[in-house]
Every structure is written in structure tokens, then in C-alpha cells.
């Protein structure tokens, strides 16, 4: 079944060709996109025929090793079963529909090329997730679809709300990404090696690491991380509010992302990782409970929303909540069939929504009927009105996230922000080089200090990323604070026993290259008398698209985007955290989440939004 690799190679080639073509070549960009989808659909039908001849048994294709060490073997191995095949067929069909529809819908848009390249990149990412034979490869595709989602939500990047909402959504995506990364780290500790889904589904959850077989921690922690990742990506309670915010992008991208394929990826993740939680009755209850709460709240909310996209978003969420309930009962095939029906229906709804909206507005103008007055007397009427107000406010889920997720971090950051930047840089570098000296002369450090050295440097590095998190005056300083934080993360791993410094060097090589490129771009903007503060969105991509692209690459490299040296180094170093170092895990997790948020914030503030020069096209705050 080596033909499976064609499914990944074709969209990758189409993406390269898309980058090579100019923005004005709309026909060529369209034809390349259509051709890649048609070739993949033919390939999928051929795969189905070949698969039928071997009895539809799950197929595992062991691929080439990208990186090999004692702790991790990262290979491009593919796995095909009935669940992934159905999803693949639907993903290819809907991508083709969206590409054809977008030919005229995005016609003469300034970002025509950017739009089609993002669609192709998303399609490649979702194919990687669906065909991944191991957790590491799933993470690669997981990151790709997250990044493309950010760019398509903020497609109208000269407007305020699309950019603002794109950053809101990517903030939650970062939480899902780190949850999945932690699940991979925990599974490495449990199994003692990189697992693949063929072995996992064949033999179930069994660890050769005898010293942790009896520990219940892994039986709860691993599926918990997968569940958090699935809940965020599928916008389940309490993370539901990001989905309507994501509708700020073009209607066509909303149809393929948030009506059909992307928002259901959490359901697929839970099916693919079912051996981790299938025998745990508590997780069946939790998954079912989350789905039930999401179903009730989303169904109520969808009835009272003022915009058609928000209504469709919450209606889709209600159905995904039901899919979570189906998964809780072990009805995986029912959930997949439900997904197919819901995805087709929501895509159709979103694509025709502009026409329906136009018809309804026209109908209301000529056939307006004054609504009947609502009574406020009686307990039942008061309850109905209370639920109505809560539904209008989307049950204050945005407020909940700000209050319990981001505001505590901002308060901590403001405490650190009182320290002068120059003092922070001097102290940070002195402490770092002191720690670096003891890493290479670890025998000079007393045992009592060595025991807590990793946690100390991880916590000390956290102070710098918190300071960067609230930095508003100078993007150069914010970028430098991120670099210092990354240095401290590498230092925190250096005090663990039997540590290979070559792995730190891999990590630092990615950090060094990305940081230099980022500093260079910011300096170029400053020399051009462009604002580099973080108080507002500056929209420098209008006049400096090449610098914006370079800074984007630097940002992805610094954030650990697969499969950069930073990502490989992070994965290797996480493998050296011992299973009892819970404090270190918490600190590193917080560092990784904040790193991504600050990096995306700097990119958004510098290059997205309305440009300040009056000779550029004016953009309203909202779409």
C-alpha cells in the first residue's frame, strides 16, 4: 500500500507550485488546486479497490526514519483503517467542492494566492493526521491545521476583528497543542519507546516498562491529555466560544474548517486513541458528560443568535456534543456516520448562507410582522428570560476563559513587569551563564541544590516569558525575553541525569537561527521608521510582505513548529523528564504555552491589522 504516500506527495507538490505562481495567475492557482484534489480522489478510489482485495484489514506502512535516538524514533509511518478511510474520502470531496466554489467567491481578492495556498496546506495537514501511523506524525498534522486556521480566520488581515479573533482562537489552540505534546511524552514514559497505532490496536494498552505497569497515574493522565486536546479542537464545553469567533474568515473557509472537517478532528482523535481510555469507565462518563453539556448549551444558544454563521456554528457544536456521547457508549461507527452527515449538511448551509440571508432580509422588509410582547410575570417566564439572556451572552464562556486562564497570567506578568528591562536582561544572562557553568561542572554543585536545579531554572525562565507576555512598548524587548526564556528551558533539562547535550544543541540551533532572523526583521522595520510597539496592530505586511513572511518563518521556528530543530529538540528533551518530576512538567508546560502566545501576538501586532498610512485602503473594525 505504498500508494498511500501519493496522498501526501500530491498536495505537497501542489503547495510548492502554489507558492511559485504569482497572485495574478488566478486560473493557474485554481487549476493546480483542483488537479491535486482530483488526483487524490482517484488515488483514494484505487486504495479502496486494493484494500478490498486484502479484506479491509487495517494497513500499516512503515516509513522512513526522520530522526532516530534511544528515546524516540520519529518515522513517517502511515496507518489506514475504516475510520480514517471514510474521513479521507469526505475530506477530499469537500476540499474539491470548496476549491471549485472559491474560484469565483475569492475572485480578484488581494489574497487569492494566499487563500488557495492555505487551503492546500490545511488539506495536507488533515491528510497527515488521518494517515498518521504514530502520535508524533499526528502532532505534525495537528500543528499544520492549527496554523492554517489562524491565517484563514485572519484572512481579511486589514480588519480589526478577524485579526483579533484569529489570535483569540490560536491562544486556545496552543493549549490543545501542548496537551497533545504532553500525551506523547507520557506515552513515551509508559511504553518506553515510540508506539504506532497498528501495535496499539492489536495488543491494546500494555507497557513493557514493568516499574510503572501498576501505576494508575498513566491510565488517567494519558487519556486526560488526549481528551483536553480533543475538547479544545472540537470546541466542547467550556471551550465552545472560539468556534463562532472563527467564522470571521471567508465563508468558504468557514465551511471546510468550522462546519465540516476541522471541528470534527477531536472526534477522530478520541477514536484513534481509544485503546488508552476504552477500558476506563470514568472517561466514558467524562466524555459523555462533556458532550451532553455542550449539546444542551449549544442547542439553546443557536436559537437566539443574531448572525447566521453563529447559528450554524452552535448548531454544529450541538451535533458534535452528540458524537462525544456516542463515543462514550463505544459507538465509533455511529459517530463516524454522524460526522459525515453533519459535515455535509453544515458545509451546504454555510455555502448557501449568503443567499439565504439576502432572501430573508428581503422577505422581512416586505412582510414585517411585529413580534408579540413577552410576559415577564410568573416563575416560568422569568426562567425563560434568564436562559434567553444567558444564551445571548453565550453563557459567558469568553468571560470564564479570561477570568480563569489568561487574567491570572497577566496579573503575574504585571508583577514582573515592574523590573526594568535592562536589569532583567543583565540578571537573566548572569544567572544563565552561572547555571551553564554548573551544567558542565555538575559535580561541583551540592546534592541538595542539584535536586531542585531543573525546577529552579524552569521557574526563573518563566519570569521572563511572563514579562514578555505583558510587554507593550517594544517588540524587540519582547522577542529578546522569549529567547532568554528558551535558553532557561534548555538549561532546566541539563541537570537531569544521563542527559545528552547534543539534544540541547539541536534545540538551540533552531532557537539561534529563528531569533537572529526575528531580530533582523524587527531592526529593518525600525530603520524604516516603522512602529514596533505592541500597543496596536500595525499592518506592516501591507508594505513589507517579504519581511512579514520571513518573520512568520522565524516565529514558527521559535514556537517549535514541526519538524524544525526546535521541535525535535523539545521532543527529545521532554523525554528526559522523569515521571515523578510533576513540578518541572507543570513549569515547562506553562513555558511552552506562553511562548506560543507571545510569539503569535508579536507577529499579529507587527504585521496584521490596518496600516496607519492614509494612502492605504481603509478597513472597518468589523467584517
Q: Which segments of 419-500 does DSSP mark as H helices, in order?
A: 421-440, 447-470, 475-494
- Quote the cell numbers at residue 336: 463516524
Specify whether 352 is located in the same domain as 429.
Answer: no
Q: What pLDDT shows up at residue 411?
A: 82
Average pLDDT over residues 341-365: 78
Examine the domain organization and report whether 316 and 429 are in the same domain.
Answer: no
- For residue 622, the model assigns a pLDDT of 44
Give pLDDT, residue 620: 45
Its domain, for residue 535, covers 419-607
How many structural domains is the chain composed of? Answer: 2
3-state secondary structure 311-367: HHHHHHHHHHHHHHHHHHCCCHHHHHHHHHHHHHHHHHHHHHHHHHHHHHHHHHHHC
Could you tell me if 235 and 337 lie in one domain? yes
Tell me: do 309 and 426 sit in the same domain.
Answer: no
Domain-located, residue 29: yes
In a domain, residue 126? The reply is yes
pTM over 0.85: yes
Are 11 and 137 in the same domain?
Answer: yes
pLDDT of residue 291: 93
Q: Is residue 325 part of a domain?
A: yes
Strand 78-80 and strand 65-68: the pairing is: unpaired
In sequence order, what DSSP letters do the residues of 233-256 get, joined into one string?
Answer: HTT-TTSTTHHHHGGGS-HHHHHH
Query: 357, 386, 403 — which closes off a domain?
Result: 357
Pairwise CA distance, residues 165 & 243, whole Å: 10
Q: Is residue 380 part of a domain?
A: no
Top mean-pLDDT range of 27-36, 53-62, 540-549? 27-36
Q: What is the pLDDT of residues 8-17, one digit of tens each?
A: 999 999 999 9
Residues 429 and 304 in one domain: no
Q: Compute CA distances 12 → 130, 279, 553, whole Å.
A: 16, 38, 18
551 or 385, greater pLDDT: 551
Q: Would you say 190 and 214 are in contact if contact means Cβ atoms under 8 Å apart?
A: no
CA–CA dist 372, 365 (Å, integer): 18
| 351 shares a domain with 445 | no
Residue 339 shares a structural domain with residue 483: no
For residue 311, what are the contacts with CB-CB under 8 A and spacing of at least 6? 302, 303, 305
If one compares 562 and 72, the residue with the highest pLDDT of the two is: 562
Lowest mean pLDDT segment, chosen from 287-291, 493-497, 613-617: 613-617
Is residue 397 situated within a structural domain?
no
* Predicted confidence band of residue 623 (pLDDT cuts 50, 70, 90): very low
**What whole-number distance in Å separates Cα of residue 363 and Cα of residue 271?**
45
Is 400 within a domain? no
State whether 437 and 352 are in the same domain: no
Of the candidates 339, 357, 375, which is a domain's last residue? 357
The pLDDT > 90 percentage for the chain reads 17
Q: Do 447 and 565 sit in the same domain of this protein? A: yes
* 569-609 per-position pLDDT tens digit: 676 667 667 767 778 888 888 888 888 889 999 998 888 88
**Residue bearing the bigger pLDDT, 405 or 224:** 224
In which residue are the cell numbers 512538567 written?
585
Based on the fold, state whether residues 329 and 432 are members of the same structural domain.
no
Residue 109 has pLDDT above 50, yes or no: yes
Residues in the chain: 623
Radius of gyration for the alpha carbons in the chain, expressed in angstroms and rounded: 25
In a domain, 463, yes or no: yes
Last residue of a domain, one of 330, 357, 384: 357
Mean pLDDT: which of 40-44, 177-181, 365-369, 455-459 is highest? 40-44
Q: Say if residue 423 is in the same domain as residue 348.
A: no
pLDDT band per the 50, 70, 90 thresholds, residue 259: confident
Amino acid at each position: 500500500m505504498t500508494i498511500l504516500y501519493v496522498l501526501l506527495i500530491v498536495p505537497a507538490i501542489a503547495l510548492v507550485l502554489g507558492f511559485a505562481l504569482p497572485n495574478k495567475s488566478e486560473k493557474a492557482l485554481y487549476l493546480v488546486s483542483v488537479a491535486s484534489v482530483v488526483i487524490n480522489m482517484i488515488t483514494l478510489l484505487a486504495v479502496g479497490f486494493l484494500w478490498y482485495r486484502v479484506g479491509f484489514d487495517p494497513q500499516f506502512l512503515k516509513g522512513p526514519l526522520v530522526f532516530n535516538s534511544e528515546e524516540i524514533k520519529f518515522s513517517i509511518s502511515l496507518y489506514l483503517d475504516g475510520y480514517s478511510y471514510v474521513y479521507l474520502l469526505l475530506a477530499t470531496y469537500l476540499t474539491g467542492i470548496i476549491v471549485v466554489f472559491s474560484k469565483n467567491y475569492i475572485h480578484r481578492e488581494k489574497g487569492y494566492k494566499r487563500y488557495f495556498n492555505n487551503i492546500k496546506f490545511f488539506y495536507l495537514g488533515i491528510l497527515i493526521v488521518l494517515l498518521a501511523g504514530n502520535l508524533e506524525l499526528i502532532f505534525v498534522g495537528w500543528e499544520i491545521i492549527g496554523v492554517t486556521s489562524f491565517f484563514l480566520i485572519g484572512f481579511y488581515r486589514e480588519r480589526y476583528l478577524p485579526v483579533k479573533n484569529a489570535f483569540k482562537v490560536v491562544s486556545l489552540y496552543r493549549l490543545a497543542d501542548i496537551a497533545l505534546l504532553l500525551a506523547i511524552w507520557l506515552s513515551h514514559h509508559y511504553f518506553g519507546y515510540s508506539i504506532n497505532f497498528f501495535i496499539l490496536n492489536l495488543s491494546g494498552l500494555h507497557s513493557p516498562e514493568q516499574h510503572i505497569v501498576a501505576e494508575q497515574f498513566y491510565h488517567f493522565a494519558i487519556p486526560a491529555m488526549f481528551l483536553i486536546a480533543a475538547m479544545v479542537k472540537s470546541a466542547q464545553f467550556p471551550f465552545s466560544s472560539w468556534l463562532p469567533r472563527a467564522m470571521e474568515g471567508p465563508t468558504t473557509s468557514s465551511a471546510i474548517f468550522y462546519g465540516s472537517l476541522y471541528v470534527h478532528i477531536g472526534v477522530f482523535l478520541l477514536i484513534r486513541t481509544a485503546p488508552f481510555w476504552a477500558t476506563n469507565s470514568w472517561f466514558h462518563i467524562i466524555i459523555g458528560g462533556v458532550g451532553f453539556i455542550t449539546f444542551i448549551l449549544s442547542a439553546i444558544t443557536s436559537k437566539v443568535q443574531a448572525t447566521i454563521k453563529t447559528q450554524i456554528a452552535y448548531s454544529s457544536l450541538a451535533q458534535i456534543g452528540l458524537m462525544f456521547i456516542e463515543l462514550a457508549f463505544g459507538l465509533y461507527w455511529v459517530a463516524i456516520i454522524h460526522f459525515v452527515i453533519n459535515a455535509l449538511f453544515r458545509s451546504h448551509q454555510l455555502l448557501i448562507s449568503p443567499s439565504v440571508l439576502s432572501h430573508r432580509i428581503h422577505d422581512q422588509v416586505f412582510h414585517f410582522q411585529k413580534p408579540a410582547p413577552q410576559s415577564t410575570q410568573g416563575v416560568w417566564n422569568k426562567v425563560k428570560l434568564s436562559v434567553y439572556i444567558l444564551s445571548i451572552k453565550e453563557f459567558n464562556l469568553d468571560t470564564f476563559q479570561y477570568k480563569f486562564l489568561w487574567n491570572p497570567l497577566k496579573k503575574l506578568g504585571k508583577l514582573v513587569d515592574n523590573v526594568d528591562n535592562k536589569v532583567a536582561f543583565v540578571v537573566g544572562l548572569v544567572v544563565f551563564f552561572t547555571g551553564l557553568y554548573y551544567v558542565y561542572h555538575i559535580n561541583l554543585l551540592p546534592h541538595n541544590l542539584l535536586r531542585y536545579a531543573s525546577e529552579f531554572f524552569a521557574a526563573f525562565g518563566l519570569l521572563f516569558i511572563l514579562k514578555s507576555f505583558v510587554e507593550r512598548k517594544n517588540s524587540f524587548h519582547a522577542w529578546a525575553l522569549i529567547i532568554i526564556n528558551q535558553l532557561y528551558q534548555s538549561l532546566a533539562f541539563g541537570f537531569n541525569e544521563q542527559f545528552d547535550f547534543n539534544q540541547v544543541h539541536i534545540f538551540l540551533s533552531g532557537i539561534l537561527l529563528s531569533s537572529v532572523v526575528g531580530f533582523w526583521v524587527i531592526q529593518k522595520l525600525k530603520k524604516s521608521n516603522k512602529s514596533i510597539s505592541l500597543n496596536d496592530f500595525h499592518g506592516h505586511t501591507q508594505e513589507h510582505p517579504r519581511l512579514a513572511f520571513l518573520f512568520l518563518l522565524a516565529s514558527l521556528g521559535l514556537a517549535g513548529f514541526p519538524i524544525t530543530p526546535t521541535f525535535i529538540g523539545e521532543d527529545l528533551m521532554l523525554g528526559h523528564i522523569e515521571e515523578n518530576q510533576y513540578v518541572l512538567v507543570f513549569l515547562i508546560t506553562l513555558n511552552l504555552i506562553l511562548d506560543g502566545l507571545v510569539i503569535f501576538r508579536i507577529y499579529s501586532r507587527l504585521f496584521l491589522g490596518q496600516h496607519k498610512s492614509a494612502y492605504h485602503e481603509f478597513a472597518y473594525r468589523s467584517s
